[in-house]
Each structure stands twice: as C-alpha cells, then as structure tokens.
C-alpha cells in the first residue's frame, strides 16, 4: 500500500495526510511494519517495545538478528527512558543536534528494546528531523508505542533508500510506505558511541567530526576492537549490483583512454572531473563539488548508474576533508563489496 496515494498533504508536511498517518500509526501499534521518510534515509519501522514486531524487520531485511537497530523517538525525554545511564556526552550531543542526523549509543535499560538492540547491553537512539517521521512517532506514541526501531529501508547490504520509489524497489508493493519525497541529507546519521569515557565515531554522517568535536569539547576517537557491532560499519555494505571502483581523476582519465570502446560501454562514471570528449561511456553522472549536495544525491546516483546496466561503476575519490568523510565512507564500503 502506498499511503501517499490517498488524501492531500497537510501544509508544510510533504506527503503527510491525517488518514495515512493514522493508518501507519495503527499498523505500528499492531506490530506491523511501516517505511517512513527521515531527513537522512527512509527507515523500515516497527515498534521497538515489542520484540515480535522487531523480528519482522530482521525477517524483511534479511538482516542477522544480532545486528542492533536504532530506536527512533520524537523527543530527547523519550530517548532517556531507554537508557540505563544518560552520559553527559549524550546529553551534549542531543541538545546540539536533535532533532537531527545523529545517533547516540548509550547503556540500555535492562528489559527494554531487547530485540531492537540485537541483545546488546547498549541501545542506539535518534530523534529524526523530518515532519513525517516526527508526526508518525507522535501518533504511534499516542497509541502506546514506546520508540520505533528502524534500520534503513533496504535489504541487508544494499544501497540505502532516499525516496519512496527506492523503498518499493527493495520491498515491492506489499509494504506500507509513507512518501515524504526525497531525503534532504541523503546518507545515514552519524553514530557516536557514548558508552565509554570518550566519544567514538562509529559511523560518519553528514554532521562532520569537527562539528561533533566542537560540541563535545574533545576529539572523537575512531572505532576499535572494543566497539559494538554495527552493520553499517561492515566493510562491504551499501553495494550496488555493479562493481564499484574508487579512482583518482588521473586514474579515471587513463583508464578511459586505454579501455577498448566495447568495454567502456559497460562502464558508468560518477566524477567531478570531465572525461576527454569522444569517450563513449555506458553512463555518466557528474559528482557535485559540494559534499552536502553529493551526500544528498549519492545513493540515488549509485542506483541510477547501477540501473544503466553497467558492470563497472568508476567513482572519483572525494577530497580527503572532514566534510567529505560520510560520503567517502559509503563509497569505500560500496567499493569493498
């Protein structure tokens, strides 16, 4: 079912109408699945406070059930309720960035969101900045739902969806999808582990580490052996069907010139640099020079180039700057698959 097909959106609320919203909240309350937009990517939601409902997410995604999910809430107060301890690090981040594209990992209150947390003693919490997501979370809360567990609405290991159409490509017409248009940010939230005395950046997002560090008053450490499992942090993730290769501008130019034309036909390129005229690629898309603009379109671009029928997607390596870290991370994982 497509909730977007019935009724008109409310003012300032893309794709949101009261009937669709109520139907979606009812579905969540009954333990069903609803895909919904957030400012980062679309999420595949189920109520976090019922383990059997959460099991539906793992089954639909084909995701191992020990990979923890993020619990989404409409307010910081609802987030704190899931925590056994609410560290000052988490408080500072929540105050500065919620609602927004940032997830904190904190110690989990025993007995809560066990399945959503993949059995771990910590829990990931996020307050998303999207009118549809927030309205859905509030409507669900009115129906007694405490938190909505939601991974990205794609099958395990695939490219995350940034439009309702992407979600339908992943799961077909059987899933209820709230259509909120294209996601503004385009890559998943930054994840910060706050369970240790120092902050650890488990997954870079659109909020770069300099901004996070400014708020925290200290640098973020990188993930190490002690960090909790995170499927978005598996080396090979975000994989298109075609093989992705990260290349410098120079490597791209040379490769395009030495590759026989018949083989170039099966190559798609995503680059800032222009290729010499006369190079007949299977497909090409120019990469925005601005990191936020690139993040916004990244997953749609990968899907589009993949759909061109190319066997290879050559991607120009983004600049090694903090603002590009989230995009670079997704591309490296896509290339590792």
Closest contact distance (angstroms) between CB of 160 and Mg ion is 5
Picked from Mg ion, ligand TXA, none, the partner binding residue 123 (CB below 5 to 8 A depending on kind) is ligand TXA
Closest contact distance (angstroms) between CB of 3 and Mg ion is 22
CB 199 within 8 A of CB 192: yes
Separation between Cα atoms, residue 197 and residue 55, nearest integer Å: 32
Among candidate residues 240, 336, 329, 249, the one with its CA nearest the CA of residue 287: 249
**Count of alpha carbons within 13 Å of 95, Cβ hemisphere only?**
9
Nearer to Mg ion, 152 or 317 (CB): 152
Closest contact distance (angstroms) between CB of 38 and ligand TXA is 5
- Under 8 Å CB-to-CB from 5, ≥6 apart: which residues? none
Q: Which of 20, 38, 122, 152 binds Mg ion (CB under 5 A)?
A: 152
Separation between Cα atoms, residue 77 and residue 46, nearest integer Å: 20
Question: What is the three-class DSSP state of 326?
Answer: helix
Separation between Cα atoms, residue 48 and residue 336, nearest integer Å: 32
Picked from ligand TXA, Mg ion, none, the partner binding residue 281 (CB below 5 to 8 A depending on kind) is none
* Stretch touching ligand TXA by CB under 6 A, among 86-94, 164-172, 226-234, 324-332: 226-234
Picked from Mg ion, ligand TXA, none, the partner binding residue 105 (CB below 5 to 8 A depending on kind) is ligand TXA
Considering the rule CB under 6 A, would residue 120 count as an interface residue with ligand TXA? yes
Task: Quickly tell me which residue has 């003012």 as its tokens.
Answer: 11
Considering the rule CB under 6 A, would residue 69 count as an interface residue with ligand TXA? yes
Q: Which of 4, 162, 163, 231 binds ligand TXA (CB under 6 A)?
A: 231
Separation between Cα atoms, residue 187 and residue 9, nearest integer Å: 25
Picked from ligand TXA, Mg ion, none, the partner binding residue 120 (CB below 5 to 8 A depending on kind) is ligand TXA
Nearer to ligand TXA, 43 or 291 (CB): 43
Closest contact distance (angstroms) between CB of 102 and ligand TXA is 9
Closest contact distance (angstroms) between CB of 170 and ligand TXA is 12
Draw the binding track, 127-146, toward ligand TXA (x: CB under 6 A; -: no contact): -x------------------
Nearer to ligand TXA, 237 or 285 (CB): 237
To which H or E segment does residue 61 belong? helix 51-61
- Under 8 Å CB-to-CB from 211, ≥6 apart: which residues? none
Nearer to ligand TXA, 26 or 114 (CB): 114
Residues in the chain: 337
Sign of the alpha-carbon dihedral angle for 155, 234, 103, 100 = negative
Nearer to ligand TXA, 86 or 314 (CB): 86
Task: Quickly tell me which residue has 């590759």 as its tokens.
Answer: 259
Sign of the alpha-carbon dihedral angle for 114, 116, 121, 126 = negative
Contacts with Mg ion, residue ranges (CB under 5 A) = 152, 232
Contacts with ligand TXA, residue ranges (CB under 6 A) = 38, 40-41, 43, 67-70, 103, 105, 117, 120, 122-124, 126, 128, 150-152, 188-189, 191, 202, 228-233
């Amino acid at each position: 079912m497509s909730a977007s097909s019935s009724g008109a959106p409310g003012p300032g609320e893309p794709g949101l109408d009261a009937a669709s919203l109520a139907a979606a909240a009812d579905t969540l309350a009954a333990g069903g699945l609803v895909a919904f937009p957030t400012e980062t990517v679309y999420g595949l939601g189920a109520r976090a406070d019922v383990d059997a409902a959460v099991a539906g997410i793992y089954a639909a995604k084909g995701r191992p059930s020990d990979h923890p999910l993020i619990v989404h809430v409409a307010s910081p107060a609802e987030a704190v309720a899931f925590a056994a301890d609410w560290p000052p690090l988490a408080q500072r981040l929540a105050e500065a960035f919620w609602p927004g594209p940032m997830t904190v990992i904190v110690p989990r209150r025993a007995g809560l969101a066990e399945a959503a947390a993949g059995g771990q003693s910590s829990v990931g919490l996020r307050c998303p900045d999207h009118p549809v997501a927030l309205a859905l979370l509030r409507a669900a809360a009115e129906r007694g739902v405490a938190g909505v567990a939601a991974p990205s609405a794609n099958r395990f290991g695939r490219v995350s969806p940034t439009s309702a159409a992407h979600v339908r490509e992943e799961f077909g017409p059987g899933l209820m999808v709230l259509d909120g248009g294209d996601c503004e940010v385009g890559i998943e939230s930054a994840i910060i582990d706050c369970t240790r005395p120092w902050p650890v950046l488990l997954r870079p997002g659109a909020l770069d580490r300099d901004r996070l560090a400014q708020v925290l008053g200290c640098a973020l450490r990188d993930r190490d052996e002690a960090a909790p499992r995170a499927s978005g942090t598996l080396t090979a993730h975000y994989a298109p069907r075609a093989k992705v290769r990260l290349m410098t501008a120079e490597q791209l130019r040379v490769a395009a010139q030495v590759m026989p034309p018949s083989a170039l036909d099966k190559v798609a390129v995503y680059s800032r640099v222009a290729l010499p005229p006369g190079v007949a690629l299977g497909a090409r898309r120019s990469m925005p020079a601005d990191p936020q603009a690139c993040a916004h379109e990244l997953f749609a671009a990968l899907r589009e180039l993949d759909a061109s029928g190319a066997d290879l997607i050559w991607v120009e390596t983004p600049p090694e700057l903090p603002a590009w870290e989230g995009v670079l991370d997704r591309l490296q994982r896509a290339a590792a698959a």
